[in-house]
A and B are shown apart, each in its own frame.
Chain A
Amino acid sequence: MILAVAGGKGGVGKSTVALNLGAAWDAVVVDADLAMADLPMAHGPNLHDVLAGRTDPLDAVRDWGSLKVLPCGRTLTGARACEQTRLVEVLEAVATSYERVVVDCPAGMAADAGMALLAADACLLVVTPDPNSLADALRTRSLARRLGTGLCHVVCNRAQNSDSTQMVGRVLGAPISSIPEDERVARAQAHGRPVETVAPDSPAARRFRELATAVHSCRS
C-alpha cells in the first residue's frame, strides 16, 4: 500500500508525521519533496537520481536506524533534472518490494504534490489548530479526489482542543487522530529520528502507534 502524507500547507508537520508513522507502521518512507527535502539524508543515490534515470528505485532505499528511507536530493540542479512523471512507477516499484510505503509529499498544489497523490492508494492529511491548514487540507482533499485517491485518515499535529479536533475530522470526512505538542518529537525529528527512539512511552509515541494501526486497517 502506498500512503501519501499530504496537507497543502507548509510547516504543519507532514515530514514529522511521515517519519514517525513510517517507523510505527514498518514502512519505507519516501521523501518526495523534490525541491525542499526534509527527511534524513545520507550519501548515496537518492530520489533525484532515481527520477533522472541514473539509479534503480530499490538501490536508493537504505536503512536509517530502525527505518527504511528513500531520501531526496538537495541540489537545485537535481530538482531541475527530475522527470516527475516517473514518480508513479518508482513508488509502485518500492511498494512491490516492501509492501508498505509512506510518501512525504511536498506542500502546495503543484505537479509534484499531484504526482504523489496520483501514485498513492490513499492519503492522510495533516493539519494543525491553525484554520489556514484546514483550508489547505480541503483543497488537497479535492485534488486527491480528482486524481482518484481517497482520504483514509487525518492527523491534527500539535493538537490542543479535542472538540475542535473532532470538528475538523467531520469537515474533512475521515477519522482523525491528534498528536500532542511535545518538544521531544521535534528534537528527535531534528536528528532524523522517530520519537519512539527517544521517548517510547510518551503520549506522542503512543498516538503514532495507534495511527499505524488505524492506517493498516485502510488497506483494500
Chain B
Amino acid sequence: MIELSCVVERQGETSLVELLVVNETSHPRRVRVANRLDGPVWPPRKRGAPDVGWDDGGFEGVVDPGERVGLGYACPGAPTEPPAEIVWSEREASESRDERPRTAGATSLGPADVCRLLDDPRPPRDVVESTTGAAALIADESFTGVEARIERAEVLAEAVSVSDAARAIENEGDLRAVERLVERLQDDAEALGRAGPRARALASRAETIAHDVPLAAFRRLA
C-alpha cells in the first residue's frame, strides 16, 4: 500500500508542510496527494512555474516500488491535522509512464553517474607537484598498491573475447572505473619514474600495461 506521513509547521503567516510518500507495493503507483489546509497550495517552483506534478490543490505523480519520496509545500492556511492526505492511488500502466509527470525528487543516480555528469574536481596531473610527487607517492602509497593496480590492468589486457571483456569490466565496476584505473596507472608511472630502480621497473610495467588495456574496445562494448 501507499503510506503518507506529514508534518506541518507554522512560520509567521505561512504553514510549511512536509510529506513523505512511501510505496510499499511491488508496482509503480500513481498517487494524488491533496492539501487539507484552508488555503491554496504554494508549491515548489522552477523558473517561476510550479514544479512538475504540483497544482493549486496538491500533487500528483508516480512512486516506484520501494521508493520513499519527500515533498514539501507552503500554504497560508492555519495548520490542521492531517495537513494533507492521499485521495487516490492506482497502479501505473507501464506504457503511460513517459507521458505524465513522475515524482519530483525521484532519482536512480549513483556515484558513478555523479562522476559522469559533473566535472572532475581533482587537480590536473600536470599541476600535482613534480619535484615532490614521487616522494609524496612513496609516503602516501606503498608499492603494493601500485602492483595491485598493475595486476588488475594485466587481467583487463588479457581479455580476448567479448565475454572476457564484459566480465573484466564488470569486475572493475563499470567502464568509467576502467578508465580511472588507466589514468591512475599513468600517474603511478610518472611518479615512480623518479623514484629509484624498483620504482623504475614498476613504472615501466605500469606504463606498458596502461597502453595494453584495450580501452577503445571496452568503450565500443559499453
Closest residue of A by beta carbon distance from B125: A80
B180 to chain A, nearest CB (A): 7
A180 on interface, CB distance cutoff 8 Å: no
Q: Could you tell me the distance between the alpha carbons of A85 and B117 in the complex, rounded to whole angstroms?
A: 13
Which of A15-23, A110-118, A196-204 lies on the face that meets chain B?
A110-118
Q: Could you tell me the distance between the alpha carbons of A20 and B70 in the complex, rounded to whole angstroms?
A: 27
**Chain B residues touching A, range:** 35 or more
Which of A4-12, A128-136, A141-149 lies on the face that meets chain B?
A141-149
B12 on interface, CB distance cutoff 8 Å: yes
Asked whether, in the complex, the Cβ of B120 is within 8 Å of the Cβ of A77, the reply is: no
A202 to chain B, nearest CB (A): 25
Q: Could you tell me the distance between the alpha carbons of A81 and B123 in the complex, rounded to whole angstroms?
A: 10
A192 on interface, CB distance cutoff 8 Å: no
Fill in one digit per residue for B177-209: 1 if any A CB lies within 8 Å of its CB, else 0. 000100010010001000000000000000000
Cross-interface CB contact of B123 among A48, A76, A108, A175, cutoff 8 Å = A76
Number of residue pairs spanning A and B whose beta carbons lie under 8 angstroms apart: 109
Chain A interface helix/strand/loop/mixed:
helix
Cross-interface CB contact of B121 among A34, A48, A147, cutoff 8 Å = A34
CB neighbours of A175 from chain B (8 A): 9, 11, 16
Fill in one digit per residue for A148-181: 1 if any B CB lies within 8 Å of its CB, else 0. 1010000000000000001000100101000000
Asked whether, in the complex, the Cβ of A77 is within 8 Å of the Cβ of B114, the reply is: no
A30 on interface, CB distance cutoff 8 Å: no
A29 on interface, CB distance cutoff 8 Å: no
Q: Could you tell me the distance between the alpha carbons of A113 and B117 in the complex, rounded to whole angstroms?
A: 12
B112 on interface, CB distance cutoff 8 Å: yes
CB neighbours of A220 from chain B (8 A): 20, 68, 70
B122 on interface, CB distance cutoff 8 Å: yes
Which of B55-63, B92-100, B102-110, B214-222 lies on the face that meets chain A?
B102-110
Task: Give me 27 A-to-B residue pairs in the complex whose CB atoms sit less than 8 angstroms apart, sorted by A's number.
Answer: A35-B121, A48-B140, A49-B140, A52-B140, A76-B123, A76-B127, A76-B129, A77-B128, A77-B132, A77-B140, A80-B123, A82-B122, A83-B180, A84-B111, A86-B111, A88-B111, A110-B118, A110-B119, A111-B119, A111-B120, A115-B115, A118-B114, A145-B105, A166-B12, A170-B14, A175-B11, A220-B68
